[in-house]
Amino acid sequence: MFDLLPVMAWSSFADGTCEFLNKAHSTYTGLSREASRRWGWQTAIHPQDLGHRMEKWRESLASGRPSEAEVRIRRHDGVYRWFLLRVEPFFDASGAIVRWYGAGTDIEDRKHAEANWSASEEKLSLIFNTVPMLVWSCLPDGSADFFNDQWCDYTGTSIADSEGWGWTVALHPDDFRHAMEGWCAVLLSDGNGPPAFELRLRRADGMYRWFWLQTTAALDHTGAIERWYVTMTDIHDRKMAEDGERRSQALLTEAKRLAGLGIFSFREGADSMAWCNALYNMFEFPLDTPVTRELIEQRTHPDDASLSFGHVFDARNGRNFEERVRILMPGGATKFIQYCAYATVTLSGETEYIGTVQDVTEQHLAAEELILARNELAQAAKASSLGVLTASIAHEINQPLSGIVMNANTCLRMLNTAPTNVEGAVEAAQRIIRDGNRAADVVSRLRKLFSQKAITASPWSLPCATGDIIGLLQGDLRKCRISVDESYPADLPQVRGDRIQVQQVIQNLLRNAIDAIKAASDGPRRIRVVGAHRDGFVSLSVGDSGVGFANADPEDVFKTFFTTKRDGMGIGLSISRWIIEAHGGKLIAQKGDGRGAIFTFSIPGEQSPNPAIAPLSGSHKS
Ligand code: ADP
């Protein structure tokens, strides 16, 4: 019977000497029954385990109680395997031990499984405590029973504090309700419900940070939820960055809306541009239409074709663009848009243009109205000051003139009477001379009015003074689509004189040039301003591509009251010449090359041999 048992089994006498070992023992150990009997079996026990085995055996023998021992037993091929040895006493009717019976069960595989289990448990806890997230678990009813080290470090609480529902103390008060609802939804789900939500968790120092709470259900073998595993990932920095990004995106969109701004980008050589929605709206193109050059040019006002926004497609060599053009909307309205494209270099070395397009229709119309109003005002001021001047000159001169006419009549009458009243005629002639002198005085007084102080101003730069005036006229120039080229030699000396008066001359020349270009219906629309110096004189010529003088003598334009304009006065150029000559210089007009006119004035430069400039009156006139 013993031999039929699939485990090792033996019997020993009451003193512990082995009486009999079964077949399983001899098959396993390879020891014969004879060799194992009495104490022979000891040779198969691992030397390190024999002491322990004998100790347990002696304890049982002394106490008469059963015992167990785990020992390694050598197999016939020399390999040791773990066995659990159990011994039980067998009593006779009087209660004395007559035999001991023992059995050994192979526990090698269980031992390995245990070793593996404790190793994997160690590994698991290492993972739990080193993952960069808070990990905890809870029972199906939601009460927590495990927290990793990170949880305890972050919240500054112990596992005991957090167990059950203690962990909810760390929730942000504003998130409490939402977090509890989320948590209950998880618990009520069958593991396939809403598994994640965001909440704020208090750090040990009292600061709250945003976390992403995720749950996973662990199921038992029947498929019921056995435990929930929860991970909480710190998303605070990402969330703050996202919030910041969202805020700045919203701000940018709002700013773009307020400024009527659209944004585009374009890669050199590409067939289409990337546009933002605002830009699609501005051009009234259907969203998502590829924006090609043809599409943009369909909208562009024919007169602005040369400046069209579509020219960005010709972009080369990282050139920046800035233009104002008109676009014609499908409904017939005209919009003024200002576009800028700035070249940037991408990481892959390609040139990319990033640009803005602004709807400046309102500003443009307002600026045009302003220019109109300013021109009307200037015209009115010119007319009224001229009127006042004329009235006062007329008044001053009228008196001596009527005196002269009256005295001349008297003189004639006296000479025609018989006898001739020579004495009376002489007196009348003397009065004529007196009144004539008075009239001459008036004129010379008027001149003195314009020449109260000699021009002793400090030297100034002609290009700067010209630049100021071009700036002033920018609105008119843009409105009439006229470009101005300026060129000055680097060594242009400064000039001395009345800056304001010379600027009046420059303004007058530029205004006339604009008028002449406006009067020409076709051809280029350009003004060339060129500075030069020679023999101590600094000159400035203003050449235009306007109507020119036709067959007229250019010198005629300097005659007072000469004008070919419907609303002209014909005094601007005569005053300009007067001002320039008062500075010791010259103002001349010439026909332009091919078309237009060129007006040039020269005045003494700072290094001129005779920088002292005459006052506006006196004998300077050539
Ligand atoms: P106004 O501008 O009031 O006519 P000006 O004395 O400034 O008075 O000009 C006189 C005239 O000279 C103009 O009406 C015009 O016929 C002629 N003129 C002046 N500048 C030019 C120019 N750049 N091109 C052609 N004609 C000009």
Note the pLDDT of residue 381: 61
Six token digits for residue 553? 């003598």
Per-residue model confidence as pLDDT tens digits over 308-329 = 777 777 766 677 778 888 999 9
Ligand 1 atom with the shortest distance to the CA of 568 = 3
Mean predicted confidence (pLDDT) in 556-565: 87
**pLDDT bucket at 567, cuts 50 / 70 / 90:** confident
Residue nearest to atom 12 of ligand 1 (CA): 557
3-state secondary structure of 492: coil
Q: What is the mean pLDDT of residues 85-91?
A: 91
Quick one: which H or E segment has residue 365? helix 361-416
Residue 74 has pLDDT above 90, yes or no: yes
Half-sphere exposure of 346 (CA within 13 A, CB side): 10
Provide the token pair at 144: 């927590």
Per-residue pLDDT at 597:
96
Rounded CA-CA distance 42/25 in Å is 12
Angle between helices 422-449 and 361-416 (to 10 degrees): 160
End-to-end CA distance of the chain: 154
Q: What is the mean pLDDT of residues 1-20?
A: 88
pLDDT at residue 385, as a whole number: 57
Nearest-angstrom CA–CA distance, 516 and 507: 14
- How far is Cα 359 from Cα 280, in angstroms, rounded to an integer? 12
pLDDT of amino acid 317 = 67
Beta carbons of 155 and 162 less than 8 angstroms apart: yes
Report whether 548 contacts 523 (CB < 8 A): no
Best of 509, 529, 545, 563 for a ligand 1 pocket test (most atoms within 8 Å of beta carbon): 563
CA distances, 441 to each of 400, 447, 619 (Å): 10, 10, 16
Tell me which H or E stretch contains 483: strand 483-487
Mean pLDDT over 426-432 rounds to 90
- The atom of ligand 1 lying closest to the CA of 571 is 6
Q: CB-based burial of residue 124 (10 Å sphere; 0-12 exposed, 13-18 middle, 19+ buried)? A: exposed
Q: Give the pLDDT score at 369.
A: 81
What is residue 559's predicted lDDT score, i.e. its pLDDT?
Answer: 86
Rounded CA-CA distance 555/225 in Å is 108
Label residue 531 by pLDDT band (50, 70, 90). Answer: very high
The predicted model gives 236-243 an average pLDDT of 88
> Which pLDDT score, from 0 to 100, does residue 598 have?
96
pLDDT at 450 exceeding the cut of 70: no
Classify 229 as helix, strand or coil. strand
Print burial letters for 419-446: b (CB count within 10 Å at least 16), e (below 16): eebeeebeebbebbeebeebbeebeeee
Ramachandran angles phi, psi of 133, nearest 5°: -155, 165
Mean pLDDT of 128-140: 86
* Residue to mutate (ligand 1; options 504, 526, 557; most atoms within 8 A of CB): 557
Among 203-212, 337-346, 475-484, the range with the most confident prediction by mean pLDDT is: 203-212
* Residue 618, pLDDT score: 34
Give the pLDDT confidence score for residue 391 in this predicted structure: 61
Whether 151 has a pLDDT exceeding 60, the answer reads yes
Radius of gyration for the chain, computed over Cα atoms and rounded to the nearest angstrom: 56
- What is the reported pLDDT for 114? 81
Backbone angles phi, psi at 65, to 5 degrees: -105, 155
DSSP string, 574-604: HHHHHHHHHTT-EEEEEE-SSSSEEEEEEEE
Exposure b/e, 25-55, CB count within 10 A at least 16 = b = bbebbebeeeebbeeebeebbeeebeeebee
What is the pLDDT, as a whole number, of residue 218?
A: 87
Mean pLDDT of the chain, nearest integer? 84
> 310 has which bridge partners?
none
| pLDDT digit string, tens, across residues 265-293 | 888 878 888 888 888 988 999 988 888 88
Tell me if residue 139 falls in helix, strand or coil. coil
Give the position, in ligand 1's atom list, of the atom nearest the Cα of 512. 20
Which has more pLDDT, 563 or 315? 563
Encoded tokens for 71: 């020992």
User: What string of DSSP letters covers 144-206?
Assistant: EEEE-HHHHHHHT--HHHHTBTGGGGGB-HHHHHHHHHHHHHHHHS-SSS--EEEEEEE-TTS
Summarize the confidence of residues 287-308 as an average pLDDT: 85
For the cut 60, the answer to whether the pLDDT of residue 456 exceeds it is no
Contact between residue 43 and residue 31 where contact means Cβ atoms under 8 Å apart: yes
- What is the Cα 150 distance to its own chain's centre? 39
Q: Please tell me the predicted confidence (pLDDT) of residue 313.
A: 78
Residue 620 pLDDT > 70: no
Ligand 1 pocket residues where CB is under 6 Å: 508, 512-513, 516, 544, 546-549, 557, 562-565, 568-573, 597
Q: Give pLDDT tens digits for 348-378.
A: 888 888 888 988 888 888 888 887 777 766 6
In three-state secondary structure terms, 41 is: helix
Do 32 and 26 form a contact (C-beta atoms < 8 A)? yes
Please name the amino acid found at residue 91: F
Q: What is the pLDDT of residues 158-213, one digit of tens each?
A: 989 999 999 999 999 999 998 888 888 888 887 776 668 889 999 999 999 999 99
State the closest ligand 1 atom to the C-alpha of 599, by its place in the atom list counted from 1: 23
List Cα–Cα distances, 23 to 11, 33, 379, in angstroms: 13, 8, 135
Q: How far apart are CA 360 and CA 260, in angstroms?
A: 8
For residue 61, how far is its CA from the centre of ligand 1 (angstroms)?
140
3-state SS of 516-564? HHHHCCCCCCEEEEEEEEECCEEEEEEEECCCCCCCCCHHHHHCCCCCC
pLDDT at 599 over 80: yes
Q: What is the pLDDT of residues 459-479, one digit of tens each?
A: 899 999 999 888 878 878 888
In what helix (H) or strand (E) does residue 382 lie, and over which residues does it extend?
helix 361-416
Residues 6 or more apart whose Cβ sits within 8 Å of residue 475:
367, 368, 370, 371
pLDDT band at 609 (very low <50, low <70, confident <90, very high): very low
CA 44 to CA 76: how far, in whole Å? 9
Q: How far does residue 496's CA lie from ligand 1's centre (Å)?
A: 27
- Report the C-alpha gap between 148 and 133 in whole angstroms: 9
Dist CA 546 CA 548 (whole Å): 6
Query: Residue 442 in contact with residue 397, Cβ under 8 Å?
Result: yes
pLDDT of residue 293: 86
Please tell me the residue having the least CA distance from ligand 1 atom 21.
512
pLDDT classification of 600: cutoffs 50, 70, 90? very high
Torsion of CA 313, 314, 318, 319, to 10 degrees: -110
